[in-house]
Amino acid sequence: MTKMICIACPVGCHLLVDDEMHVSGNKCMRGEKYAIEEMTHPTRILTTTVKTTSLLTPRLSVKTKDPIPKELIFEALQLLEGIIIDNDVKIGDVVIPNILNTGIDMVATKSVTINPFH
């Protein structure tokens, strides 16, 4: 039996998953879907920041457009640590396409103008 808390909504149901993947404790079907995915192929949206050359905005917030496999989060963070944005970016722009060959893009969650005085 595996215990987990559903993170699909703020209610936070306490779920139990038995050895045959029967889920209990969920108030709705999203909880069952979450529990089975978590047991078989856990994924997460990655939100973080990357460096820029802007003096006013030295970090740009970014996120994966869709969830990526949980086991790739650390590797993705290492990759992003080496990224330096040196061009203007608008919210929603793709910062890194197809991160770690997941088919998922990293996108900007805010805009940055590298040199607003030019």
Binding site for ligand SF4 (CB under 6 A): 6, 8-9, 11-13, 26-28, 30-31
Element (DSSP H or E) covering residue 17: strand 14-17
Smallest gap from residue 18 Cβ to ligand SF4 (A): 16
In three-state form (DSSP H/G/I as H, E/B as E, the rest C), the secondary structure along 39-102 is HHCCEECCEEEEEECCCCCCEEEEEECCCEEHHHHHHHHHHHHCCEECCCECCCCEEECCHHHC
Residue in 67, 99, 65 with CA at minimum distance from that of residue 82: 99
Smallest gap from residue 4 Cβ to ligand SF4 (A): 10
Smallest gap from residue 45 Cβ to ligand SF4 (A): 16
Smallest gap from residue 27 Cβ to ligand SF4 (A): 4
Q: Between residues 9 and 39, which has the closer beta carbon with respect to ligand SF4? A: 9
- The pair of three-digit structure tokens given for residue 49, joined into one six-digit string: 């920041």
Q: Between residues 26 and 54, which has the closer beta carbon with respect to ligand SF4? A: 26
Q: Between residues 9 and 56, which has the closer beta carbon with respect to ligand SF4? A: 9
Ranked by CB distance to ligand SF4, the top (closest) residue is: 31
Q: Between residues 4 and 108, which has the closer beta carbon with respect to ligand SF4? A: 4
